[in-house]
């Protein structure tokens, strides 16, 4: 893992320099689904403190097992309405907010002794029926709705475009997300986060303004770590 993390950090620095991004502006969110708690503990020794989980039950077990560490937990899976209470209680961030009914439940169920829940609106930038996310045309109204909830803090946008092997095609999808981000910020949303880019396309995401990239295999390898 040490070699993978070092190589990843070098690639990020190179991408920041190549695309004239400020050094250190791109943050890594390790995707730790299917990884054992020991692997996360090992990653933490390498300076990684934020981790993204897709499945609630699996995440609950790891959050409990790693409660002795000061970690930041991000929920990055699809949100089922009947699972919002534990998500609101356990996580620091939610990246997959895509409908007002779920936003309302998260707001109501966020514990009062915790700070507002950081949320990203998921944008279905490629219009894929198999993926969650609001459509680009719905983004402005949804952003306004989220900002009405005092227990939520709108931090930015998240997107997972359709896979593309061509670098320019990858950039095009991420550019469209960035354009929505700029339009909403011009209207006063005050967002600071673009969560986009995975192990196969994060350089294209960095080129188009990503501030947080979600990486699993680039950190943990292709199989659950021992």
Residue-wise over 174-211: b if at least 16 C-beta within 10 A, else e?
Answer: bebbbebbeebeeeebebebbbbbbbebbbbbbbbbbb
Does 204 fall in a domain?
yes
- Nearest to 219, CA basis, from 54, 62, 50, 74: 50
Q: Quick one: pLDDT band at residue 224, thresholds 50, 70, 90?
A: low
**Total domains, the chain:** 1
Q: What average pLDDT does range 119-135 have in this prediction?
A: 91
Residue 118 in this model has a pLDDT that exceeds 90: yes
Query: What pLDDT does 20 receive?
Result: 96
CATH code: domain of residue 85:
3.20.20.10
Q: Is residue 225 part of a domain?
A: no
Q: What is the mean pLDDT of residues 113-118?
A: 97
Query: Is 145 within a domain?
Result: yes
Neighbours of 108 (CB within 10 A): 12
Domain that holds residue 73: 2-218
Residue 85, both tokens: 């209470």
Give yes or no for residue 39 having a pLDDT over 60: yes
CA dist 101 and 62 (Å) reads 28
User: What is the spatial distance between Cα 209 and Cα 156, in angstroms, rounded to a whole number?
Assistant: 12
Q: Which residues pair with 152 in a beta bridge?
A: 117
**pLDDT tens for residues 129-147?**
888 899 999 999 999 999 9
135 part of a folded domain: yes
Residue 20 phi, psi (nearest 5)? 55, 45
For residue range 68-81, what is the model confidence (pLDDT) as tens digits? 999 999 999 999 99
* pTM: predicted TM-score of the whole model, two decimal places: 0.95
Q: Does 226 score more than 80 pLDDT?
A: no
Distance CA 11, CA 74 (A): 23
In a domain, 57, yes or no: yes
């Amino acid at each position: 893992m040490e070699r993978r993390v070092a190589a990843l950090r070098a690639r990020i620095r190179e991408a920041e320099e190549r695309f004239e991004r400020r050094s250190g502006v791109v943050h890594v969110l390790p995707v730790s689904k299917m990884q054992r708690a020991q692997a996360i503990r090992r990653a933490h020794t390498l300076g990684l403190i934020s981790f993204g989980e897709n499945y609630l039950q699996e995440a609950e077990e790891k959050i409990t097992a790693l409660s002795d560490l000061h970690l930041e937990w991000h929920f990055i899976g699809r949100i089922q309405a009947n699972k919002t209470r534990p998500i609101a209680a356990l996580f620091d961030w939610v990246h997959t907010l895509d409908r007002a009914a779920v936003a309302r439940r998260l707001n109501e169920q966020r514990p009062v002794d915790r700070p507002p829940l950081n949320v990203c609106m998921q944008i279905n930038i490629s219009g894929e029926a198999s993926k969650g996310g609001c459509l680009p045309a719905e983004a402005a109204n949804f952003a306004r709705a989220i900002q009405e909830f005092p227990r939520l803090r709108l931090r930015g946008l998240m997107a997972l475009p359709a896979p593309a092997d061509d670098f320019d095609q990858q950039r095009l999808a991420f550019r469209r997300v960035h354009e929505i981000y700029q339009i909403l910020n011009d209207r006063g949303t005050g967002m600071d986060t673009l969560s986009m880019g995975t192990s196969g396309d994060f350089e294209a995401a960095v080129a188009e303004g990503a501030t947080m990239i979600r990486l699993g295999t680039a950190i943990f390898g292709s199989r659950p770590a021992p």
